[in-house]
Amino acid sequence: MVTGDLKVSENQGDKRGEGISSRISPLPIKRLFSIKEAAVYLSKGVFGVRTLIWNGDLPIVRDGRRILLDRNDLDGFIEKNKTAYFTREADERPNNGKKKISS
């Protein structure tokens, strides 16, 4: 008789779980970050992000006294500051930019 009660409660739990999960909507993607969150996103320190703001490299969104940064602006900053490690000039120089040792 005890096992019968357990089976019923397990089945009810499954039905309840399905109903709840189908009603839960996914969380929206966060668009505005605090300075601390933006620092983590950019792999920088908080002071580094503040410096970017003060220099005008990152625009801000003000909400009262709060300073927020838009994810699109952070992504734009990343794209704008991407550079290639190798340059063509190094490849076009004779001996790939290395000095020839005379013997």
Average pLDDT, the chain: 79
- Calpha distance 72→67 (Å, rounded): 15
Reply yes or no on whether the pLDDT at 77 is more than 90.
yes
Task: Judge contact between 49 and 38, C-beta under 8 A.
Answer: yes
Q: Is the pLDDT of residue 102 over 90?
A: no
Over residues 28-67, the pLDDT tens digits come to: 789 999 999 999 999 999 999 999 999 999 999 999 999 9
Q: What are the extents of the domains in the chain?
A: 32-80
